Amino acid sequence: MNRPIKILFLDDEVDDLLPDITLVAKQNRVIIKKAISNFEEGNKYIRKHYKDIDAIILDGFFHVKQDSSDKKDIRALKETVDELTKLLYREKIRIPFCVLTGYLEDLSKDSLLSNIKVFKKGGSFKEMFDYLKKQVANNEDYQIKSEYNEIFELFDKGLLPDDKEEDLVEILKKVNSKAKYNDDAAFTPIRKMYEAMVNEMHDQAYNRNKNQDIVPAGLYDRADKLSISWSWFYLSGYDVKQGNEVVINARSEAVWPSHIANLSKMMIEITQEGSHDYPEDVHHYAYKSTVFALLELLLWYKEFMQNYS
């Protein structure tokens, strides 16, 4: 397993447990993506962010609401399991979960919870993480992220917005298909991923150097929308022109090396045609070519931003 797994930790003693569980998590390639102390907030998070997590750890006995004075009981766990089961069924997704509790014997008596893997508080966190990683390894999305781990590290490093991670997974799912494509569903996401990368490159460069000339503001219109064609000319080392008029002068040195300029030109031309209902079917090799060009571009971007100051 190349990729760490991202976990939601739902436990009303989260503040006390988090330091120890986070330490063991780091040692076992596990990221505690979010830690929440009550059922109400936990379920809201699951419904909204289930695509951002790989697995869930649930407390056996915790409060339904934050700062509740009610006695802790099994009701919150049962409601969470019920909500989670319905959500996973409705969305046709698989998120493994387990229970971490100090009351093993009480859970085994409930039929709803009888098939859930339970780990005892005070025991080995590593054993629990090994179980969840084994379950997550069967997930198709995780398998893709693991196969293309060096690409998905962009999200780990904050170099691409989180909401684009699922889009990239969907792009890569089509790589092994032999279908022909000529519609928006295939090529538009690739073009949008290019836009997201250039936008992020602007933000990343500006945050490190207010005088940056990597992605200048002139490449955007009044609505802050990037001109894809202008961005290619500028990043490839050319003047940006509108007719015969030079709108933005070329940098003294191109941002992109020549192979990235060539690959991105091909990718942009194919995706701009293919995303507007190109009249002929495009063979899967053309789709793969654009995707692999995108991946090469993303790898270059990762290395560039890691060294940019």
Q: Give the tens place of pLDDT for each residue, 154-195.
A: 998 999 999 999 999 999 999 988 776 655 578 889 999 999
Q: What is the pTM of this model?
A: 0.82
Domain endpoint, select from 111, 138, 165: 138
**Residue 256 in domain:** yes
Please state, in angstroms and rounded to a whole number, the distance separating the CA atoms of residues 227 and 216: 11
Cα radius of gyration (the chain):
24
Please state, in angstroms and rounded to a whole number, the distance separating the CA atoms of residues 35 and 72: 18
**Residue 152 in domain:** yes
Domain endpoint, select from 138, 161, 191: 138
Please state, in angstroms and rounded to a whole number, the distance separating the CA atoms of residues 181 and 275: 10
- Judgement on whether residues 129 and 200 belong to the same structural domain of the protein: no
Tens digits of residue pLDDT in 252-271? 999 999 999 999 999 999 88
**Residue 143 in domain:** no
- Judgement on whether residues 239 and 179 belong to the same structural domain of the protein: yes
Domain endpoint, select from 138, 173, 196: 138
**Residue 220 in domain:** yes
Which residues 6+ apart lie within 8 Å of 252 measured at CB?
none
- Judgement on whether residues 46 and 128 belong to the same structural domain of the protein: yes
Domain range holding 40?
5-138
Q: For residue 146, name the pLDDT band (cuts at 50, 70, 90).
A: very high
**Residue 257 in domain:** yes
